[in-house]
Amino acid sequence: MTALSPVTVLAGSADRHADTVAVVDGRARVTYAELWLEARCYGAGLRTAGVRDGDTVALLAPNVVDFPRVYFGALAAGAVAVPVGVPVGPQAVHLAREARLLVCHTSHLAAGRRISVRAGVPLLTVGPGRGPSDVPRLEDLGDVPPGQTGGFADTDLDPAGRTEADPDDTDVVLGCLPLGGRFGQAVTLTGTFRAGATLVLLGRFTGPAALDLMLREQVTVFHGTSAMYAALLDAARGRESLPRLRRWVSRAPLPPSLRQRFTSTFDTVVEVAEGERDSTVPGPLAGRTRPARRLRSRRPGCHVERYRRGPAS
């Protein structure tokens, strides 16, 4: 089995699913072909800014389409992409200090400036609007000559290393967890792109906003924390229609009472993707609670559990 790097995953999906919408961000809809081209343009811009093979590029951006553009652009440039976290924590300066430069989304420019000064690294901006004249824009630095493919081999390979946590190519995945976190990168971002599915982004999570977006975009897969599931349950009160997703995936086991009420209200099951912990997302700790009536997959190496529906409450 061939293990594909994240950048080759995107390149392969751009080849196999060129016209499929890869990312939905508000009114913006970006196909795999467009996203791969834009990532390579950003990668060329990073090379112009002095990034070389093996360098680290720090990235400060919320869940917007510019996150995967820069993330995969850095990989396409031969660098290592290191998200510094949204919301910004004390570790951001430490992570950025090891980078060649910091790419900051314009919505977080004030925080980006502080990190850049304290870490002593150059700053680039990305996103709508123009920042201060003394800060270069990544969009102004890069371009890809017509016909250039980026030089990535094996883009016609089928996705390798897929697990039960990955969606199918017809799925629409709601991305609420920070894409810069471990779970957000491995499961939401890379897993969705590996499958050739569509990723719908929600920059600021609230229960009502998430439910509305699920219905509007016909979402089929949700990844979230216990706190997010509790917020969805609260937002469901009094609603005439609720989204009927194909899969609900929790980052950690839900507390038994929450799991029982959620599965009853949404008439569904909740899967748990174990082995992933995302410290950038605040929320209650799942602890050592052992969920009732738990079914383990017998697939070797698979760490996905499925809960049966609980009784109506």
Question: What ranges do the domains of the chain cover?
Answer: 32-140, 172-307
Contact between residue 259 and residue 291 where contact means Cβ atoms under 8 Å apart: yes
Distance between CA atoms of residues 78 and 291, nearest Å: 43
CATH class of 32-140: alpha beta
**Common-topology check for domains 32-140 and 172-307:** yes
Residue 203, burial from CB neighbour count under 10 angstroms (0-12, 13-18, 19+): middle
pLDDT at 275: 53
Assigned CATH for 172-307 = 3.40.50.980
pLDDT tens per residue, the chain (313 residues)?
445 568 899 999 999 999 999 999 999 999 999 999 999 999 999 999 999 999 999 999 999 999 999 999 999 999 999 999 776 777 899 999 999 999 999 999 999 999 999 999 999 999 987 767 789 999 999 775 444 444 443 334 444 455 555 678 899 999 899 998 888 888 899 999 999 999 999 989 999 999 999 999 999 999 999 999 999 999 999 999 999 999 999 989 999 999 999 999 999 999 998 554 443 333 333 333 233 333 343 344 444 444 444 444 4
Distance between CA atoms of residues 212 and 30, nearest Å: 21
Q: Which helix (H) or strand (E) holds 114?
A: helix 109-119
Q: Please state, in angstroms and as integers, the Cα–Cα distance from residue 102 to each residue in 35, 133, 203, 271, following that order.
A: 21, 17, 20, 36
- Report which of 182, 158, 58, 162 is spatially closest to residue 111, judged by C-alpha positions: 58
Which residues lie closer than 8 Å to 149 by C-beta, 6 or more apart? none
Q: Please state, in angstroms and as integers, the Cα–Cα distance from residue 210 to each residue in 28, 42, 65, 83, 215, following that order.
A: 17, 30, 17, 24, 9
The pTM score is: 0.80
